[in-house]
Structure 1
Amino acid sequence: MTPSRPLRILLVSHYYPPHVGGIENVAAQQARALAARGHEVAVLTSALPAAPPADGVRVVRVPAWNGVEDRTGVPFPVFGPRLLRAVREGVRWADVVHVHDTLYQSSWLAGLRAARTGTPLFVTQHVAVVEHPSMLVRGVQHAVYRTIGRRLFRAGREVFVVNDSVAAFVRRFRRGGAKLLPNGVDTTRYRPASAEEIPLLRERWGLPARRILVLFVGRPVPKKGYDLLLAARHPDYDLVFAGERPKHVPGDPSIHHLGALRPDELGDLYRACDVFALPSTAEGFPLTVQEAMASGLPVVTTDDPGYASYGLDRTQVALIPRDAEILRATLRSLAADPARREAMGRCSAGFAAARFSWPEHAQRLEESYRAALGIPA
């Protein structure tokens, strides 16, 4: 390989947009940013749902059964036998293989194939063990990470994480530990609102013009804190939910479920709201928090050790325990204090502009890939 030739990069993610979720959004942004640097990028994923390729990225979609997510809310596609062939062809084509999270079948097969063929393997580990209410789900996670997960962590040239909590988790299985690599944010899509566009955006979504709107973005599952936020509702504010609609929607006019939205629609919705709340668990610094900050919203989320390395100003970002009463009190305080909301929003936007860059993220990945291949940066 000559130094001037673009790299052939195979990214592996269990889901990919338009499926809604944090891992798939990161994989998509990463793929676009690497393609923008002139590399040949292919993404191996499930055909759930199918969509045409875009932004210079070739997407290989393999048939899979999605009954686990449909029935339990756990996002775990079960791939069909075509995955074997897709993995063989993808790894044979690639200069490097980069898998997203070691919990999924697609990562297992692609990672093991890369290790077998000597193709440099990279891992982005998004989360540690999620404290799911089901003992079975928790047990499966532990079993996977102690077996195939351990093998992939050790086989990876580098393991990337977005917070200290996941870094500590990876160190349990890999002597070399992990590297902190923050995700980026598309600051053209996620940006603060102007005063003129807020009423227009609210009218588009059928949202009340004069209410304080608290936005939640994510799946309606306990891990994300959906039930906790419902328990914290109060007449001082309305709750707005973006993401998959739950099977049972509360009949409360102060609760607005908008369903799954495209990224451009989601960018508009952030700008239509006043506060972002995500009382999730074991996530550290999820992409939705970054998007909310880039959109200039005050953020209320769970106090997690994963935030430590980012040096957040705790007077400007509300990091609180996962407790409905504390969450309600925090949201009521913000609803009654427009000056504090404005100050927190300014701090959010400034922090995002300074720290979350997809081009810088892609550059660091490229440097790691080239180093593994013995190519000068």
Structure 2
Amino acid sequence: MPESLEAPTLLRTTARPVKAGQQNPSSLQRIRVAIACSGLGHVQRGVEAWAEDLAAGLRRRAPSLQLDLFAATSGPDRQRVQCLKRNDLLTRRVASVLRQLGGWRYGMGSPYEVEQTSFALGLWRRIHRSHDLLHVQDPVIARFFEAAHRAGLSRPKVILAHGTSEAPSTLRAFSTLQHLIPEAADEWEAHRPSKQASFVIPNLIDVTRFHPAASCSVRARLGLPQDKLIVLCCAAIRRRHKRIDYLLNEFAAANTAVGGQMMLIIAGAQEEDTADLIQMGHTLLGDAVRFMVNVPRAEVKDLYQAADVFVLPSLQEMFGIVLLEAMSSGLPVVCHDSPSFRAVVGDGGVYSDLSKDGGLQASLPMLLDAARRRNLAMRGRDHVQACFSEAAVVPQVLSMYETVSGKAI
């Protein structure tokens, strides 16, 4: 049986500067901020969602802020920076050659690194003289601009929002870190250089975009059954990290135990082992599973509204924006029992040890109880509104910008 149903504490939501050593903002100077993400527009990950959501939230809540969003694709709300995209054949060939030449030493050891480095070179030409701050989660971009700033070759100070599990040797190189949960900041404190500024500010979610809705009409439109408990997972469709193979096995056992009352939907980006996992899923579950590959984020909202339960089988996430999206949409969450997941999910989740066989299998049937689902969903959405909404998070981000830049919004 699951070890716990509730989390006793909520995430601390106040920005927490640690020995920032910055001057007070001057009302005579205004901040100009760049938010950048090399995958935005062609990759569906949490990093891309972070950049898009943060820029939109800042523009709505702080219209006086001078803000530019940079991405590898153009759009009405962002500016394009030309780069080698990670999934292009040319990029993969370049990475393959440079990997043999020690490319990992200079940010060119993988297609993702090649994308970030080529993006950083193009971005530098756009912002090195004009902006005060660069806010990023992509680590190679952040390292490039941190080094350029320290060498006097780039004006903007760098804020790395640490969402990609970087090693301490990498994180110590930055002047400013944004941790997404208090536990991460507490663990980092023993490694933090004395002059490094550290903040605890979570990711945010637009609770008006992701909201509960009657599932019947959405299911009818998507061709989903009305009489099944629909379990949704939004994650890259791969074994490593996201553990989709574990999800398939555990769901198959749970669904058999309850007489086939459930259906599983897995929506996520295509990976190298996606085809094998899809075949595995259909062998185990037949029509009781549906895979939706590379679904645009704008369409994922419908999946949340059609589902009854959200599950994330990974054992570790730096944050997990999909958890916010699910809870904001009125779904109870099933996830691994760890401090990082409890910090994000709060009282809106069923927790179990998903490192063990049977951990997820035991949790899913409990949520056939509609009253339990409603209770968890209500508490989860309240938690999101209190801790992760734009109203809760944007003021913290603005305060961080003023502290780091020494200027006013």
Q: Which TM-score tier does this pair reach, normalised by the shorter chain?
A: 0.7 to 0.9
Q: Distance in 2 between matches of 1:43 and 1:35?
A: 11
Identify which of 180, 183, 196 aligns with 2:203.
183
Larger radius of gyration: 2
Q: Which amino acid is the alignment partner of residue 234 of structure 2?
A: V
Q: Distance in 2 between matches of 1:261 and 1:311?
A: 24
2:48 is the counterpart of 1:58: no
Change (3 A) 1:303 1:239: same
Judge conservation of contact 2:163–2:318 (CA < 8 Å) in 1: no
- Note the 1:174-323 alignment, pairs <5 A: 174-175=192-193, 178-194=198-214, 198-221=215-238, 222-233=240-251, 234=255, 235-245=260-270, 246-248=274-276, 249=278, 250-251=281-282, 252-307=286-341, 309=343, 312-313=346-347, 316-322=348-354, 323=356
2:364 is the counterpart of 1:331: yes
2:46 is the counterpart of 1:25: no
Q: Distance in 2 between matches of 1:40 and 1:18?
A: 25
Shift of 1:255: 0.7
Change (3 A) 1:231 1:177: farther
Q: Distance in 2 between matches of 1:320 and 1:208?
A: 28
Identify which of 66, 87, 101 aligns with 2:124.
87
Q: List runs of 5+ in structure 2 lacking aligned partners.
A: 1-24, 94-109
Q: Distance in 2 between matches of 1:70 and 1:259?
A: 21
Q: Distance in 2 between matches of 1:299 and 1:279?
A: 11
Deviations 1:340-362 (A, max 9, x none): 11111111122222222224423
Greater RCO (CA < 8 Å, at least 6 residues apart): 2
Residue 265 of structure 2: SS of its match in structure 1?
strand
- Note the 1:117-128 alignment, pairs <5 A: 117=152, 119-128=156-165
With the length of structure 1 as denominator, give the TM-score of the two structures: 0.81
With the length of structure 2 as denominator, give the TM-score of the two structures: 0.75
Identify which of 389, 393, 397 aligns with 1:357.
389
Moved more, 28-37 or 74-83: 74-83
Identify which of 100, 112, 115 aligns with 1:76.
112
Aligned residues: 343
Judge conservation of contact 2:82–2:122 (CA < 8 Å) in 1: no
Change (3 A) 1:199 1:96: same
Q: Which amino acid is the alignment partner of residue 151 of structure 1?
A: A
Moved more, 81-90 or 284-293: 81-90
Shift of 1:177: 6.9
Judge conservation of contact 1:7–1:40 (CA < 8 Å) in 2: yes
Q: List runs of 5+ in structure 1 lacking aligned partners.
A: 130-141
2:145 is the counterpart of 1:110: yes
Q: Distance in 2 between matches of 1:286 and 1:311?
A: 10
Q: Distance in 1 between matches of 2:301 and 2:403?
A: 36
Partner of 1:138: none
Judge conservation of contact 1:128–1:169 (CA < 8 Å) in 2: no
Give the percent of matched residue pairs that are identical in Structure 1 and Structure 2. Answer: 24
Identify which of 139, 162, 166 aligns with 2:180.
162
Change (3 A) 1:311 1:211: closer
Deviations 1:8-55 (A, max 9, x none): 21223242135201011011111122233232323344x3xx3x3233
Q: Distance in 2 between matches of 1:258 and 1:82?
A: 29
